[in-house]
Amino acid sequence: MSATSEILIHGGRLIDPSQGLDGRFDLRIEDGVVAEIAERIEPKGGDAETIDATGLIVCPGLIDIHVHLREPGFEYKETVKTGTRAAAAGGFTSVACMANTDPVHDNRSVTGHITSEAARWGYARVYPIGAISKGLLGVELAEIGEMVGAGAVAVSDDGKPVMNAELMRRALLYAQHFNIPVIQHAEDLHLSGKGVMHEGEWSTKLGLEGIPGSAEDVMVARDLILLDDTGGRYHVAHLSTARSLELVRQAKKKGIPVTCEVTPHHLVLTDEEVARSSFSTQTKMKPPLRSEKDRLALIEGLIDGTVDAIASDHAPHHADEKDVEYNCAPFGILGLETTLPLCLERLVHAGLISMSRFIELLTIGPARALNIPVGTLAPGKLADVTIFDPDREVTINPEAFRSKGRNTPFGGWKLRGAAVATVVGGRRVGV
């Protein structure tokens, strides 16, 4: 990290959907904030750091609003340090981390631990998400106000759903005092049962217990009904089915304050991958890889604006934990170091969405969903910048990941797109 107070990024194609910008612009950063954007800028001072972005894309720093940094408690899987290094390597300048740590992030001392570790390493901004309920037990509200006071930006029991409708209603009401969203991992546990993959043709063929799409849908439907009464803000994490998407689409039309995110893996893979990989545990996550019909519906949601954000649900696990029978493996795969090339190759280069829409889904879209002051290069705003080469050919190599995890189904995939540099608060991040 250098401490230059002025950075000039010149020659690139600057895309900032928050300002409707897409063109050849230079960007000058001064004292950690965006100073100016113009067609041609000369450095003001003599010692300005310059970054030649010719042939590259310059955009607001990418944001992943759904990651698991595993600290405290599961440092053998990931830490704030390694997770944010992975974020920087993948082109992300901000991440929001989930509360299923040990101890659970349900009180301000854990919030403080996460923010101080993040400040210590500085590879990316970390926005902690606190638990909705104490101990993630789904019984009583956690100390949401104190956590927000210490830096939490949202609450979620992610990893577990809030099964109790009354507790959910209370959370939606109480969170409004702090103007933060309640993020739901939408899964009816009675319907998902002992399921390990999507219920459908492939669970039938493989004899694996299924998780029906309805396990997600009934939860989203229930919460939207509650939200209609309570108001406030509600965000659906890793939305994965056609029907949940339609529920969100209709709710948005009625003006109900809901946002949602989808993961790259649900946009790229389907349940057939479990069979194709011969039971590889790298295909096991929650929600499970869904049907082709669901996958196509999610892409439609990116196109028509129903989806607010792409978020990776970066879920590191130790290699030994995944090297077991399919039923015994933990749910979850990595995302921070694969999201950019996967989405560029399969969404942008494939012609499904524009480069600008793609960037919107990873910048101002997620920033608005969590109401965090990033995702834009408007003058005076925090100077978080990602510079990436959309055409560079890469082969995903898990052994080279900065994350402690190696759990990805994308090892060996040949894709186009790679982060070149990130700037966080006006400081260039070295990985």
Partner 1 sequence: MVAEPNAPPTRWTKKDLLGISDLSAGEIQLILDTALSLQAIDKRPIKKVPTLRGKTVINLFFESSTRTRSSFEIAEKRLSADTLNFSASGSALDKGESLIDTALNLQAMAPDMIVIRHKHPGAPHLLARRLASGVINAGDGAHEHPTQALLDGFTILQKKGRIAGLKVAIVGDIGHSRVVRSNIHLLTKMGARVVVAGPRTLMPLEMEKMGVEVAYSLEEALRDADVVMMLRIQLERGGGTAFPSVREYFQMFGLSKERLSLAKDDAIIMHPGPMNRGVEISSEVADGPWSVILEQVANGVAVRMAILYLLSGAHEEGNR
Using alpha carbons only, what angle is made at residue 354 by residues 273 and 334, rounded to the nearest 5 degrees? 35
Give residue for tokens 């101890």.
103
The least distance separating partner 1 from the CB of residue 278, rounded to whole angstroms, comes to: 5
The least distance separating partner 1 from the CB of residue 414, rounded to whole angstroms, comes to: 23
Residue 320, amino acid: D
313 is catalytic: yes
Residue 386, amino acid: T
The catalytic position among 64, 223, 294, 313 is 313
The least distance separating partner 1 from the CB of residue 194, rounded to whole angstroms, comes to: 9
The span from the CA of 125 to the CA of 384, in Å, is 9
Instruction: Copy the structure tokens of residue 107.
Output: 């009180």
Nearer to partner 1, 280 or 354 (CB): 280
The least distance separating partner 1 from the CB of residue 408, rounded to whole angstroms, comes to: 17
How many residues are listed for the chain in this entry?
A: 431
Nearer to partner 1, 106 or 199 (CB): 199
SS (H, E, C) 329-393: CCCCCCCCCCHHHHHHHHHHCCCCCCHHHHHHHHCHHHHHHHCCCCCCCCCCCECCEEEEEEEEE
> What is the rounded (10 degree) CA torsion for 44, 50, 52, 56?
-90
Nearer to partner 1, 263 or 291 (CB): 291
CB within 8 Å of 232: residues ≥ 6 apart:
172, 173, 175, 176, 181, 182, 257
The span from the CA of 242 to the CA of 68, in Å, is 25
Nearer to partner 1, 201 or 229 (CB): 201
Nearer to partner 1, 33 or 206 (CB): 206
The binding site for partner 1 (CB under 8 A) comprises 199-201, 203-208, 210, 212, 278-279, 320, 323-328
Residue 399 per-residue DSSP state:
G
The least distance separating partner 1 from the CB of residue 291, rounded to whole angstroms, comes to: 9
Enumerate the active-site residues. 313
